[in-house]
C-alpha cells in the first residue's frame, strides 16, 4: 500500500486501506488477551496487552499489516511497561523504552511516575523542539530566499507552516507552557526578515487575523490553544468516556481528574477571551452526541473579538486602513494561488509584493521628505511631498500608473466575464444615452463604459465600470465616518457612479474597490453572479479565482503607483 506524501486525500485513503487489518488485529488480540486493544493514528499503531503477551501481539501486527502490504519498521517499534521491572518476552527485551511516546508527545496515563488511576491523557509536547522546528524552517526559507526564491512564495511558505504544523499537538494537549507563543514568534520573525523591518504588537495581531478581516491569514498556535483542545474533546468525549467506562460527565470528571482540570481551565480562558460571545460547553450533551467543527466556530468568534480590540487600539488613520484591507477577496494576493482551467498563476514581482504587503500591514511605504516622481506627458514632475503611508502616491492623478491600475481591472473583467458567462464582452463601449454636457465646462462628454456585456444569470445588457477609491480622506469628518464603518468610501464611489450613469441610460454595474482591497457591495454581488449555474465546489473556485485576480491586479497597480512615485 502506497499513498502520495502531502496529498490531502492520502490520510483518508490510508485509513481506509488499513482499517480491515486493524480489525483483524483486534480480533486476534482478543483470542489471547481479553483486555487487549489496538489504537492507530494513520501509520502510528499501538497495541495494549499484558506484558507476557507482547510477542504474540507483535506477531499479530506484523502479520496482518504485512497482508495489507505494509512493512513494520523495526527501528520504530518499541515496547513499554508501566512497571520497568515487569517481565517481557525475550524477543521484546531489546525494544524496551523508558517513556511511552504517542504522536510525538509523551502519554502520562501510561507514565510510571503518574497516578494510573487518574487518567490525564497526554503530557505536554516537547515545546522546545517544536519551537526549534519553526526556527529551522524560518532559517531554511531565508536561505531559499537568498538563493532566489520569490518574496511571494517565501511568504506563502511561512503562512502555510503557521496554519497546521502543530495543530495535532494543540488538539491533544492544553498547551500553556509558553512554547505556542514562541512558535508564533519564530514565524513572525520570518515575516520581519522578509519585510526587512520589525513589527509592533498591532502589526503582529494583524498577521493572525483572517484575510477577510484585513489580516494576513497566519495561524497562531497561541491563539488556538483553547479552541483546538476543547474542539478535539467535543468530538471525542463520547468515545473516550465509553473506553474508560464513564456514563456521566461527573463520572468522567472524577475518573479523569487532571484532564477535567485542563478542560475547565481551557474553557474558562475561552469564555473570558470571547467576552460573552460564546456559550459554556455542553459537556453533558457531548457525552451523548459528538460535535464536529466547534474549533472553527469558536475561532471565528474569537477573531471577531480580536479584530475589535485591534481596531480600538489603532489610530483613526489605521482604523480606516484596517477596514479598507478587509472584505470578500480583499486579501487575495496573499492567498495561495487559486488555479483555474489553463490559467497560469503569475507571481507578483518581489518589489511590488513587498510594497503591497507593507501597505497592508500599515507600515511606511514612502521615504521621508521625498517628492512625488510621477511624470506628466510633458515631462514635468508632480513634485508633491510624499507622506510615509503613500496616500498621495495612491491618489495622485499625474502620470499613467493610476489609469493602468484601472485598466487592469477592466481587462480582467472583459476577459473573464465571457469565460464564465458565455456572453461576449466589449471594452470602452460608447453609450450615447449617458453622454452629457459637463455642467461646469459646457463641453459634451461622451460616455464610454469599461465593459459592455450581459448579466450571466438574466442575460440582460449590463455596463460594468471600474473605479478604485482610496479610503483615506484628509477631511477629518469624512475620515471619522470611514473609521467607524466598513466600506463607506466604496459606497461613496458607487453613489457617484450611479449619479453619473442613471438607470435611464442602461443597467450599470459599478465595479468599485477601495485601494486597500475592500470591494463595494455591488462588486461583491457582481462577482457572485458569475457561475450561478455551476455546482457549489466549482462556483466557489471560480469566485475565489476572480477575487484573487482582482486583488493581484489592484495591489500590483497600487505598488506600481507607490514605487513610481518614489522614483
Ligand atoms: Zn504625485
For 99-134, write each residue's pLDDT tens digit. Answer: 777 665 555 444 444 443 444 444 556 788 889 999
Does residue 532 register a pLDDT over 90? no
Q: What are the residues whose beta carbons fall under 8 Å from the beta carbon of 151, sequence distance 6 or more?
A: 145, 194, 350, 353, 354, 357
Q: Say what the pLDDT of residue 118 is.
A: 42
> What is the band of 11 on the pLDDT scale with cuts at 50, 70, 90?
confident
- CA–centroid distance for 556 within its chain: 21
pLDDT digits (tens, 9 = 90+) for 199-228: 999 999 999 999 999 999 999 999 999 999
CA of 347 from ligand 1 middle (Å) equals: 27
Helices (H), 438-535: 476-484, 488-500, 521-529
Q: Which residue has the cell 507571481?
A: 347
CA of 197 from ligand 1 middle (Å) equals: 26
pLDDT digits (tens, 9 = 90+) for 495-514: 999 999 999 999 999 999 99
CA of 396 from ligand 1 middle (Å) equals: 4
CA of 386 from ligand 1 middle (Å) equals: 8
The sheet that has 426-430: what strands, in order across it?
426-430, 448-454, 461-469, 508-514
CA of 316 from ligand 1 middle (Å) equals: 24
Read off the pLDDT of each residue in 404-416 and give the average, rounded to a whole number: 97
Hey, what's the cell of 74?
A: 523495526
CA of 558 from ligand 1 middle (Å) equals: 13
Of 145-149, 354-358, 371-375, 455-459, minimum mean pLDDT range:
455-459
Please give the angle made by the CA atoms of 289, 294 and 299, to the nearest 5 degrees. 170
Please give the residue that has the higher pLDDT: either 343 or 427: 427
pTM (global) more than 0.75: yes
Q: Say what the pLDDT of residue 3 is.
A: 72
CA of 564 from ligand 1 middle (Å) equals: 10
Please give the residue that has the higher pLDDT: either 259 or 136: 136
CA of 465 from ligand 1 middle (Å) equals: 24
| 3 state DSSP class of 24 | helix
Q: Say what the pLDDT of residue 83 is.
A: 77
| 3 state DSSP class of 430 | strand
Query: Quick one: 89 exposed, middle or buried, by C-beta within 10 A (0-12, 13-18, 19+)?
Result: middle
Rounded mean pLDDT of the chain?
91
Amino acid at each position: 500500500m502506497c499513498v502520495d506524501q502531502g496529498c490531502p486525500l492520502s490520510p483518508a485513503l490510508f485509513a481506509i486501506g488499513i482499517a480491515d487489518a486493524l480489525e483483524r488485529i483486534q480480533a486476534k488480540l482478543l483470542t489471547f488477551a481479553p483486555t487487549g486493544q489496538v489504537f492507530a493514528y494513520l501509520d502510528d499503531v499501538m497495541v495494549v496487552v499484558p506484558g507476557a503477551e507482547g510477542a504474540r501481539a507483535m506477531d499479530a501486527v506484523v502479520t496482518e499489516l504485512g497482508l495489507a502490504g505494509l512493512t513494520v519498521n523495526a527501528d520504530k517499534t518499541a515496547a513499554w511497561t508501566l512497571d520497568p521491572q515487569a517481565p517481557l518476552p525475550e524477543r521484546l527485551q531489546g525494544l524496551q523504552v523508558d517513556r511511552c511516546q504517542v504522536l510525538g508527545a509523551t502519554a502520562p496515563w501510561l507514565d510510571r511516575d503518574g497516578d494510573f488511576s487518574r487518567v490525564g491523557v497526554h503530557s505536554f509536547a516537547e515545546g522546545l523542539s517544536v519551537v526549534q522546528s519553526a526556527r529551522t524552517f524560518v532559517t531554511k526559507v531565508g536561505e531559499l530566499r537568498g538563493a532566489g526564491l520569490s518574496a511571494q512564495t517565501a511568504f506563502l511558505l511561512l503562512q502555510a507552516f503557521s496554519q497546521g504544523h502543530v495543530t495535532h499537538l494543540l488538539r491533544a494537549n492544553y498547551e500553556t507552557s509558553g512554547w505556542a507563543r514562541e512558535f508564533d514568534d519564530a514565524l513572525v520573525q520570518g515575516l520581519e526578515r522578509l519585510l526587512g523591518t520589525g513589527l509592533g504588537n498591532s502589526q503582529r495581531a494583524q498577521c493572525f487575523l483572517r484575510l477577510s478581516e484585513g489580516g494576513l491569514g497566519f495561524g497562531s498556535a497561541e491563539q488556538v490553544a483553547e479552541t483546538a483542545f476543547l474542539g478535539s474533546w467535543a468530538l471525542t468525549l463520547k468515545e473516550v468516556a465509553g473506553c474508560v467506562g464513564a456514563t456521566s460527565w461527573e463520572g468522567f470528571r472524577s475518573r479523569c481528574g487532571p484532564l477535567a482540570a485542563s478542560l475547565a481551565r481551557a474553557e474558562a480562558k475561552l469564555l473570558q477571551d470571547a467576552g460573552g460571545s460564546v456559550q459554556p460547553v455542553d459537556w453533558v450533551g457531548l457525552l451523548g452526541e459528538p460535535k464536529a467543527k466547534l474549533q472553527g466556530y469558536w475561532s471565528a468568534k474569537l477573531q471577531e473579538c480580536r479584530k475589535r480590540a485591534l481596531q480600538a487600539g489603532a489610530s483613526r488613520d489605521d482604523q480606516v486602513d484596517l477596514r479598507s484591507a478587509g472584505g470578500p477577496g480583499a486579501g487575495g494576493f496573499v492567498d495561495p494561488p487559486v488555479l483555474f482551467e489553463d490559467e497560469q498563476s503569475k507571481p507578483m514581482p518581489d518589489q511590488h509584493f513587498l510594497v503591497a504587503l507593507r501597505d497592508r500591514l500599515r507600515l511606511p511605504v514612502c521615504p521621508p521628505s521625498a517628492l512625488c516622481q510621477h511624470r506628466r506627458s510633458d515631462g514635468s514632475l508632480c513634485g508633491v511631498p510624499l507622506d510615509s503611508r503613500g496616500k498621495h502616491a495612491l491618489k495622485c492623478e499625474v502620470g499613467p500608473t493610476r489609469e493602468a491600475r484601472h485598466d487592469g481591472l477592466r481587462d480582467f473583467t472583459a476577459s473573464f466575464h465571457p469565460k464564465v458567462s458565455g456572453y461576449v464582452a466589449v471594452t470602452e463601449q460608447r453609450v450615447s444615452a449617458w453622454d452629457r454636457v459637463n455642467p461646469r465646462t459646457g463641453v459634451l462628454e461622451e460616455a464610454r463604459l469599461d465593459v459592455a456585456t450581459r448579466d450571466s444569470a438574466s442575460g440582460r445588457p449590463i455596463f460594468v465600470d471600474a473605479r478604485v477609491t482610496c479610503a483615506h480622506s484628509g477631511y477629518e469628518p469624512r475620515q471619522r465616518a470611514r473609521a467607524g464603518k466598513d466600506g463607506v468610501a466604496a459606497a461613496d464611489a458607487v453613489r457617484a457612479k450611479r449619479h453619473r450613469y442613471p438607470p435611464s441610460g442602461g443597467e450599470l454595474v459599478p465595479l468599485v474597490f477601495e485601494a486597500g482591497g475592500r470591494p463595494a457591495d455591488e462588486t461583491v454581488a457582481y462577482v457572485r453572479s458569475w457561475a450561478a449555474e455551476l455546482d457549489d465546489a466549482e462556483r466557489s473556485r471560480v469566485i475565489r479565482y476572480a477575487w484573487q485576480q482582482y486583488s493581484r491586479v489592484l495591489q500590483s497597480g497600487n505598488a506600481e503607483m507607490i514605487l513610481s512615485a518614489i522614483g
